[in-house]
Amino acid sequence: MKKLIEILHIEYPIIQGGMGNISNAKLAAAISNAGGLGTIGVGTLTPDEVEHMIQELRKLTKKPFAVNLPINVNSYMKEMISLMIKFNVPVVSLSAGNPAPIIPILHENNIKVMVVTASVHHAIKAEKAGANIIVAEGFEAAGINSPYETTTMTLIPQIVDAVTIPVIAAGGIADGRGLLAAFSLGAQGVQMGTRFVATKEAPFSSDYKNKILNANDHNTIIIGRSKGQTRRVLEGDYTLSLLKNEEVYTTEQYAEATNENHHIIGAIDGNEKKGFMNSGQIAGLIHDIPTVKELLEGMMAECRKTLKNIGNLLNR
Ligand SMILES: Cc1cc2nc3c(=O)[nH]c(=O)nc-3n(C[C@H](O)[C@H](O)[C@H](O)COP(=O)(O)O)c2cc1C
């Protein structure tokens, strides 16, 4: 099996997950420049907005980067695929929908494809459809989650055993110990969201970052179960009220209440009374706001140190 870092042409096996409409070129460039793989999130943005972001990112980095296309979330999928080809985007990550019709078009244009999945069944299907890499995302993760609710610890080794392409672990990883754990389960790298929110370069409200710093191990909640759209968010006035009342909302009202505008109000404006802040359960482990470079280098060093400590333990 080819190595993940060789497929992606990156130095460290650490990938930034797409983040709806809120992750921007500056954050993605910082991550790619630091040796990881930065990602532009397409969310519900228009092709013009995404084109502008790709152009900005290209000015900020010469390194590889990814664009995340959430298939059933964005209504301009055809135009987005054309943009990926026009700008020769090195890597596309496909989530939230059936990737099979899209993968061959991207491959014809030499674009590497990562598919985000939360089940063994979907991982096998994605490999059959031609995916180069599987991102296996457990239920600990921030944002929209699979209704299967399978955790990272259980999901990763099952997907690793079921496919023959590299697997990236996502959900619940924020430090070098998590990276080593992912390796132990058979993954070749990690994708993080929550940890990257609390970095200096992340373009989000300081209230959002501080809420992550102050979160404990049970300050995230799942909203949307009754609507078949599970999403992990930080506890706040808006999200607790959604949780309490979601069953009385119609599907349309609930979709409106959790759309990207409310994401921006929470994450960019820092207003937890009118918007939501996505976060994974790992928030309780995050106590600082490093630069992306400090974070990546620190994770790699901690991973190596932890491996050495385990070696010492085993050799006793
Ligand atoms: C603010 C935010 C927005 C997100 N939006 C998306 C998205 O648009 N598409 C997607 O595939 N994943 C999205 N995710 C999930 C991340 O890409 C990543 O897989 C996840 O955060 C990993 O789990 P962690 O938060 O425990 O690190 C989002 C995560 C965050 C924190």
257, 176: one domain: no
Does ligand 1 come within 6 angstroms of the Cβ of 197? yes
Contact (Cβ atoms closer than 8 angstroms) between residue 131 and residue 114: yes
Cα separation, 99 vs 18, whole angstroms:
16
Regarding pTM above 0.85, the answer is yes
- 237 is in which domain, residue-wise? 206-282
Average pLDDT across the chain, whole number: 97
Does ligand 1 come within 6 angstroms of the Cβ of 178? no
Pairing of strands 65-70, 112-117: unpaired
Cα separation, 233 vs 262, whole angstroms:
12
67, 155: one domain: yes
Radius of gyration of the chain from its Cα atoms, rounded to whole angstroms? 18
82, 157: one domain: yes
Q: What is the pLDDT of residue 139?
A: 98
Percent of the chain with pLDDT over 90: 98
Atom number, ligand 1, closest to the C-alpha of residue 135: 19
216, 185: one domain: no
Q: Using one digit for the tens of pLDDT, what is the confidence trace for 128-149?
A: 999 999 999 999 999 999 999 9
Cα dihedral 276, 204, 299, 35, rounded to 10, equals: 130
Q: Using one digit for the tens of pLDDT, what is the confidence trace for 7-41?
A: 999 999 999 999 999 989 999 999 999 999 999 99
Does ligand 1 come within 6 angstroms of the Cβ of 119? no
Pairing of strands 189-192, 14-16: parallel
Q: Using one digit for the tens of pLDDT, what is the confidence trace for 77-87?
A: 999 999 999 99
Q: What is the pLDDT of residue 44?
A: 97
Tokens 């040796």 locate to 35
Q: Using one digit for the tens of pLDDT, what is the confidence trace for 249-300?
A: 999 999 999 999 999 999 999 999 999 999 999 999 999 999 999 999 999 9
Q: Which residues of 137-170 are buried (b: 16+ CB within 10 A; e: fewer)?
A: bbbbbbbbbbeeebebeebbbebbebbebbbbbb
Q: What is the pLDDT of residue 1?
A: 87
- Mean pLDDT value of segment 51-63: 98
Contact (Cβ atoms closer than 8 angstroms) between residue 278 and residue 223: no
Give the sign of the dihedral formed by CA 27, CA 28, CA 33, CA 36.
positive
Cα separation, 270 vs 267, whole angstroms:
5
CATH number of the domain residue 9 falls in: 3.20.20.70
Cα separation, 157 vs 17, whole angstroms:
20
118, 174: one domain: yes
Does ligand 1 come within 6 angstroms of the Cβ of 299? no
Percent of the chain with pLDDT over 70: 100
20, 73: one domain: yes
